[in-house]
Amino acid sequence: LASTTKMQDVLESDYAKHGLTPDKLRLMLHKMLLLRRFEEKIEELFLVKGALIGPSHLYLGQEAIAVGALTALEPEDLTITTYRGHGHALAKNVPAKLCMAELFGKSTGTCKGLGGSMHVAIYPETGSLYATAIVGSGLPIAAGVGLGLKQKKSKNVAACFFGDGAVNTGAFHEAMNLIALWKLPVLLFCENNQYAMSTPVNRAVSSHTIAERASSYGMQTTVVNGNDVVSVFLATRAAAEKARLQSEPVFLECVTYKMKGHGVYDKGDYRPKDEVTKWLHRDPILAFENHLLQGKFLAQTKIDQAESAVKREIEEAVAYANEGSPLSFDELHKYVYAGGA
């Protein structure tokens, strides 16, 4: 894979100039912890407690991407994500308790329990517009969202998240062409976590890098260290400015790694052990914590406080989810058509 940008592209003394105020750094760490602990709780609810069933694709290890990107964007910017979308939902300020209730299939969830894990991130109230469970299918929809924003002369952008598996679908290519052709304000975040289910990128993608493929559409492309939240934040900020001011798309290949397997039941044991170990040493949260401590941006006590607050929030979310009940089956027909059939 192509070399990735390093954490210290921007001098620490210049952080504030680039929007990385102490508050923002603290917020980013808080969110990353929330994403991590939320997924760990989900894993426990599935595997240990047997409280949850169905497919669930965890975001463990990729937290720097959703958090870096969505902290850099404006609240009114719109996201389109995938079935691996719990992280994007939380990073886009969807309340954790609504996400948890959705995973429990309760009427108190984001989608009233009709969506489930793969659609948790559908919550337009915070700009978390859509989450699709079909690989690659979000890009054409993001093209339309970008076109809609452009047509309304809005300064907002569409941010589309997808994995390395998506880049081999027809939907990806049709949408990439249209987004570039029409110069739509769309940021394309390819979270290259190295595996599409169990298939590694080098057995699935013909081009040397994914970014190279994207650049063939004539759009600006950046390769970002997806395990470095500061890099993702800075790259997103620059990309968003281009999208807002010049109405140009930007493709960001964020190189990362799934800490666990494809879905919650997959142990991921088809991956070489040394590869897994190497990437676990690049844990984006530990790296960021060390960076904050070493740069004296944050004291250990603040990190501990964030951990406790996150723990509380997740406990409350589980309690909230447990309290709810599913929709009545008799009501379901009301949701098939808008405005009644």
Partner 1 sequence: MSMREITYAEALHEALREEMIRDPNVMLLGEEIGVFGGAYKITRGLVEEFGPERVRDTPISEIAIAGTAIGLALTGFKPVAEIMYMDFLPICLDQLATQAAKIHFMSGGQLKVPMVLRTQYSLGRQHGSQHSQFFPSWFFQVPGLKVVLPGTAYDAKGLLKSAIRDENPVLFVESGVLYRTKGEVPEGEYTIPLGKAEVMRKGDDVTIVGVSRMVGEAMSAARKLEEGGVSAEVIDIRTLQPLDLDTVVDSVKRTSRLIIACDDVKAGGVGSEISAAVLESGFDYLDAPILRVACPEMPIPFSPTLEQKYMPNAEKIVEAARQTVGK
Q: From residue 102 to residue 131, what is the string marking binding to partner 1 with x (rule CB under 8 A)?
A: -------xxxxxxx---x--xxxx---xx-
- Kindly state the tokens that stand for 299: 């004291």
The closest alpha carbon to 109, from 97, 94, 98, belongs to 98
Q: Which of 174, 212, 241, 316 binds partner 1 (CB under 8 A)?
A: 174
Q: How many CB atoms lie within 10 A of CB 198?
A: 13
Tell whether residue 137 is a contact of partner 1 (CB under 8 A). yes
Q: Closest separation between CB of residue 232 and partner 1, Å? A: 24
Q: Which residue has the tokens 């989450």?
A: 131
Q: Which of 28, 66, 142, 285 binds partner 1 (CB under 8 A)?
A: 142
Q: Closest separation between CB of residue 237 and partner 1, Å? A: 23
Q: Which of 68, 95, 146, 284 binds partner 1 (CB under 8 A)?
A: 146
Q: Closest separation between CB of residue 115 and partner 1, Å? A: 5
Q: What is the DSSP string of 213-238?
A: HHHTTT-EEEEEETT-HHHHHHHHHH
Q: Which of 178, 196, 205, 292 binds partner 1 (CB under 8 A)?
A: 178
Evaluate whether 67 touches 31 at the Cβ level (below 8 Å).
yes
Tell whether residue 330 is a contact of partner 1 (CB under 8 A). no
Site for partner 1 in 67-86 (CB under 8 A): 78
Q: Which of 134, 280, 299, 319 binds partner 1 (CB under 8 A)?
A: 134
Q: Is the dihedral of CA 93, 95, 96, 101 positive or negative?
A: negative
Q: What is the DSSP string of 129-159?
A: EEEESSTTTHHHHHHHHHHHHHHTT-S--EE
Tell whether residue 152 is a contact of partner 1 (CB under 8 A). yes
Q: CA-CA distance, 160 to 82, in Å (whole number)? A: 9
Residues that bind partner 1 (CB under 8 A): 78, 109-115, 119, 122-125, 129-130, 132, 134, 137, 139-149, 151-152, 158, 170-171, 174-175, 177-178, 181, 334-339, 341
